[in-house]
Structure 1
Amino acid sequence: MEKKSSHPIAQAIVKGNPDWFMMPFDYKTFEEVKGKGLIAVDQGGNEFRLGSKDWFSPPSLRGNGAKDFDAAAATAGEGAEGPVHNTQNPKPETYNPAPPDKDILLSYCGRIVAGFDIEDRVKEGSRETIAKLHAMGIKTVMLSGDNEKKCRYVAERTGITTYFASQLPEQKLDHIRRLSAEQVTAMVGDGINDAPALSLADVGISLGTATDIAKESAEVILLSGQISKVEEAISLGRKTYLTIKQNLFWALAYNVVAIPVAAFGMLSPIWAAFSMAFSDVVVIGNSLRSGLKK
């Protein structure tokens, strides 16, 4: 199921555990639910769900669920019709609570059969980048689908003071809509759940390693995938905007001065042509000057 998903976590699971994906699995239907997880139905009509633990209710594990799951996986992998099980919830006493610290759960026919832990690693240079953004007068807010504990962990290590945990794509969109109404907003994201918010933000920034839909939704793509490039991109954008305003000023100033002088015959055609060419040189030189700055 994870091999069919474009989510960064799914890709990380596939890359980190290649031995898990040696046996082909034949699915009849497959669906990716934004902000929640994956749903697949095999040839025998058995439903598999893989996603965030908040998606599963009740978060439980049946005693023989793993055994039934192994049997279904073996037969479905051969393309045969897997065993059909009753998907109704068994009696409560047959359930054992699922480990509450598992980030991703896998269910088979309504029964949770496995859980996975996901470790968050803060990108190198993240704290320094956030500090530079704050020094530039930029407020940072983290919108994440992770739980409160993981968001707090990342916020403490990056210097982000405001964060919202357990956010669905629609909730991220609402936050961006509210922030954009108050001030210019830039959104940095790399997952399928970030795409709507990236499209709505004044400036959408994605990474070269992001999902295709995230890159399509963004105006800026950082090819290196380094978070430190976000500050560089914003700085470059500000310098470019300042250069544009300077060029407009100089072009307008030359026209305001030269046109009346030429209209009253105080400027010969040769000098008028020279003045116009000189104004172009000033504008081009000012643009090149910005590119030479480090």
Structure 2
Amino acid sequence: MVGSGIGAERGILIRSGEAIQTFKDVKVMVLDKTGTITRGEPKLTDAVTAEGVEETRLLTLAASVENASEHPIARAIVEGAKERDVKPGEVSEFRSTGARGVSGKVGDETVLIGNRRLLEEEGVSGLEALDDAMAELEGKGRTVVIVAADGQALGLVAVADTLKEESIEAIRGMHDLGLHVVMITGDNERAARAVADEVGIDEVQAGVLPEGKVDAIRALQKKHGNHVAMVGDGINDAPALTQANVGIAIGAGADVAIEAADVTLVRGELTAVVDAMHLSRATYGKIVQNLIWASAYNVAAIPIAAIGLLHPMIGVIAMTASSLSVIGNSLLLKRRFTRENPQGKST
């Protein structure tokens, strides 16, 4: 109760005592990228056109189709196009293929927007001419989509998401706790690796579709034992949060993710994961200490009482002292975890 109360005061909501006990044994911390490591507010950064294609046409077609989508990347493209005085047109027959891309008709043209794998499957031509530009943009950590019309690649549109200020500090803190940190993302390998290298991620699993996150968690559990925690914020993260031994939801994320999680970070800061880990370990330590104290009283007093050398009133006093020592020892957690010392470090 004391541990949960301390967590609540610091914006760390722990659903059960079981979560506290499981959390202390976590060895692998899995992080979603968008909205967890990054702010989840991507901005349009680049528009690269194929030979003979005007940038205005590229952005008009891209913004027109993406305007029918609610995905953060879609919103970034639409808003970025508007900032460049490009207005989206009307779109019909809009279709989404999940994390791979979208399509629709703008006027008489059939527009397809997505990753290279999707466009290759659809038989789009002219992709090779954009390879160098795509590699360069992805190497900078940007998410790149290809825009095609009537089976011909027109160019690239790139968006970038900024890191949360505390991400590097939080991941450093996880390493100090001995955790193996894994990032799972639907982004391509190059863009994901650029972000991972910047913040110090140990392992990257890129190109993972939403439905593949559960399988990724299962694989990590099989490899590292049942000691895997995951931090996520989106609707697509909910099944993986449930599969993880400890699911941790960012408080500003989707309601379904929060409902599926064992721990909710109200502050929305990744450093709170480190604070929660310290709190979990310290709380479990107090549980062990309390068991030792309570057992010591009974181990010492029961044999003495059995041979008739312990007065009943002394037994009452000893039992009361046992309870008070447990309560007092638990309350010492509050002295250890102050707002100035959220990780309970010894002073």
How has the CA–CA distance of structure 1 residues 27 and 14 changed in structure 2, closer, same or farther, with 3 Å as cutoff?
same
3-state DSSP of counterpart to 2:180: coil
1:189 equivalent in alignment to 2:232: yes
3-state DSSP of counterpart to 1:160: coil
1:55-78 CA distance string (max 9 Å, x none): 4445777xxxxxxxxxxxxxxxxx
How has the CA–CA distance of structure 1 residues 171 and 266 changed in structure 2, closer, same or farther, with 3 Å as cutoff?
same
1:163 equivalent in alignment to 2:204: yes
Residues matched between the structures, number = 256
How has the CA–CA distance of structure 1 residues 263 and 9 changed in structure 2, closer, same or farther, with 3 Å as cutoff?
farther
Contact 1:169/1:196, CA 8 A, preserved across alignment: no
Listed as ranges, the matches of 1:74-85 within 5 Å are none
Question: Could you list the runs of 4 or more consecutive aligned residues of structure 1 that deviate by over 3 angstroms after TM superposition?
Answer: 1-5, 7-20, 22-33, 35-41, 46-61, 95-102, 104-116
How has the CA–CA distance of structure 1 residues 287 and 167 changed in structure 2, closer, same or farther, with 3 Å as cutoff?
same
Match among 140, 146, 167 for residue 181 of structure 2: 140
Contact 1:53/1:103, CA 8 A, preserved across alignment: no
How big is the alpha-carbon RMSD for the aligned residues of Structure 1 and Structure 2?
3.7
1:178 equivalent in alignment to 2:219: yes
Match of 2:319 in 1: 276
Q: Which has the larger radius of gyration?
A: 1
Using the aligned pairs only, state the percent identity: 38
Contact 1:132/1:231, CA 8 A, preserved across alignment: yes
1:234-281 CA distance string (max 9 Å, x none): 111111121122222222222222233223322222221111111111
Q: Look up the equivalent residue of 2:315 and give its one-letter code.
A: A
3-state DSSP of counterpart to 2:160: coil
1:203 equivalent in alignment to 2:246: yes
Any unmatched runs of 5+ in structure 2?
Answer: 1-65, 135-142, 342-347
Structure scoring higher RCO (CA < 8 A, sep ≥ 6) equals 2
Note the C-alpha offset of 1:119: 0.3
1:124-154 CA distance string (max 9 Å, x none): 1222221221121111111111111111111
3-state DSSP of counterpart to 1:117: strand
1:123 equivalent in alignment to 2:171: no
Greater Cα offset, 171-180 or 238-247: 171-180
Q: TM-score, normalising length from structure 2?
A: 0.60
Match of 1:215 in 2: 258
Contact 2:78/2:88, CA 8 A, preserved across alignment: no
1:108-135 CA distance string (max 9 Å, x none): 8988888642203222122222122112
3-state DSSP of counterpart to 2:183: strand
Q: TM-score, normalising length from structure 1?
A: 0.69
How has the CA–CA distance of structure 1 residues 247 and 104 changed in structure 2, closer, same or farther, with 3 Å as cutoff?
farther
CA distance in 2, matches of 1:233, 1:265: 48
Contact 1:120/1:150, CA 8 A, preserved across alignment: no
3-state DSSP of counterpart to 1:121: coil
How has the CA–CA distance of structure 1 residues 147 and 276 changed in structure 2, closer, same or farther, with 3 Å as cutoff?
same
Q: Look up the equivalent residue of 1:200 and give its one-letter code.
A: Q
Q: Look up the equivalent residue of 2:237 and give its one-letter code.
A: D
How has the CA–CA distance of structure 1 residues 247 and 110 changed in structure 2, closer, same or farther, with 3 Å as cutoff?
farther
3-state DSSP of counterpart to 2:201: coil
Contact 1:60/1:96, CA 8 A, preserved across alignment: no
